[in-house]
Amino acid sequence: MIFQAKSVEEAIEEGLKELAIQREDAEITVLEEGKKGGLFGIGHVDAKVEITAKVKKTDGERAVAFLEGLLPLIGMDAKPELSGEDEKIVIVLSAESTKNVIGRRGEVIDAIQTLAGAVANTGRKEYKRVVVDCENYREEREETLKRLAAKLAAKAVRLGKRVRLEPMNPYERRIIHSALVDNEEVTTKSEGKEPTRYVVITPKNLRPSDKRPRDNRGGRGGKYDKYGKNNRGREKYGERKSYPKRELPSEATPETSGTSISRGGTPGFRKGGFSGFFGTYLGKAEDEEKPAETKSEGTMSEDEGKENE
């Protein structure tokens, strides 16, 4: 619709008021700026603007518009099309080379799906699931995961042990859980942290040896702690207490007190004369039988020396 007023701003305000829309929801085109008249307003021309209400895009359409701008930027020749958005938003990618679009184990198409889901749910109070597909990859992948879940569940029951699957995204983990929810012989649980979160299949006939939780080193725990040290005696005697170290005297240590070794010289106290602590000497029975004074080999007394003269 076209609206006229003395100025462009007045024409826009009148048009928005009449259409009952906000400025951000309107497409405004200025047709004529208008012209002020001379004396007594002679020669005045009103401004003209054309205002139309913007057609709001749906969540799926906004996601498709986003992918249309994203895919060329990452060098991907693919065209996104909106397939449906009732219960979930489904976007199908058409490309000559599907391998480049899907990637190894679906890594590329999963990344595109995550971005499209973030755009489609912007401003929404409740999250709406978005699925990006290419050449029925999602359907084929879902069937593959269902067969894998049944095979590994049978293996877990046969061996009586837990079976851990490779890390998967939330969508694929949900498929595993759904495939085994009615299985009466096993239970499933997701463990780990993103992006390496995985599914663990636990049989109900789990062997007792496999019920103990594994420690941080991948062992069974109990006998060794996370540092690989044996803690078998700690359960009975408790933690080992640490005793304070004995401080050695720094000065005025008696050399003949039994706490140091005399290196010769006058016995007694000597500042800084400590030469090493060996503990208190208790003596032996043999020492009591020896005479108080003994002569060393190779030495002579004064009387022997005079006789030899």
pLDDT along the chain (309 residues), means of 10: 83 84 82 68 74 84 94 92 91 90 89 94 90 92 95 95 93 94 95 92 86 52 50 56 63 47 48 47 47 45 44
The parent domain of residue 75 ranges over: 59-135
Q: Does residue 38 lie in a domain region?
A: yes
177 and 153 fall within a common domain: yes
Q: Residue 89, Cβ neighbours under 10 Å: how many?
A: 25
Confidence at residue 61, expressed as pLDDT on a 0 to 100 scale: 93
Confidence at residue 160, expressed as pLDDT on a 0 to 100 scale: 94
DSSP states of 170-187: HHHHHHHHHHHTT-SSEE
The H or E element spanning position 32 is strand 26-32
Are the C-beta atoms of residues 215 and 226 closer than 8 Å to each other?
Answer: yes
Confidence at residue 258, expressed as pLDDT on a 0 to 100 scale: 45
Q: Does residue 278 lie in a domain region?
A: no
- d(CA 303, CA 309) in angstroms, rounded, equals 10
63 and 127 fall within a common domain: yes
Q: What is the CATH number of the domain that holds 97?
A: 3.30.300.20
**Structural domains of the chain, count:** 3
155 and 127 fall within a common domain: no
39 and 98 fall within a common domain: no
75 and 31 fall within a common domain: no
Q: Does residue 307 lie in a domain region?
A: no
* Cβ contacts of 274-281, under 8 Å, gap ≥ 24: 274/248, 274/249, 274/250, 277/248
- d(CA 219, CA 217) in angstroms, rounded, equals 6
126 and 194 fall within a common domain: no
146 and 120 fall within a common domain: no
- d(CA 71, CA 100) in angstroms, rounded, equals 12
Q: Does residue 22 lie in a domain region?
A: yes
Confidence at residue 21, expressed as pLDDT on a 0 to 100 scale: 82
Confidence at residue 10, expressed as pLDDT on a 0 to 100 scale: 86
Q: What is the CATH number of the domain that holds 160?
A: 3.30.1370.50
184 and 125 fall within a common domain: no
From 105, 135, 165, the end of a domain falls on 135
Q: Does residue 257 lie in a domain region?
A: no
Confidence at residue 50, expressed as pLDDT on a 0 to 100 scale: 87
67 and 43 fall within a common domain: no
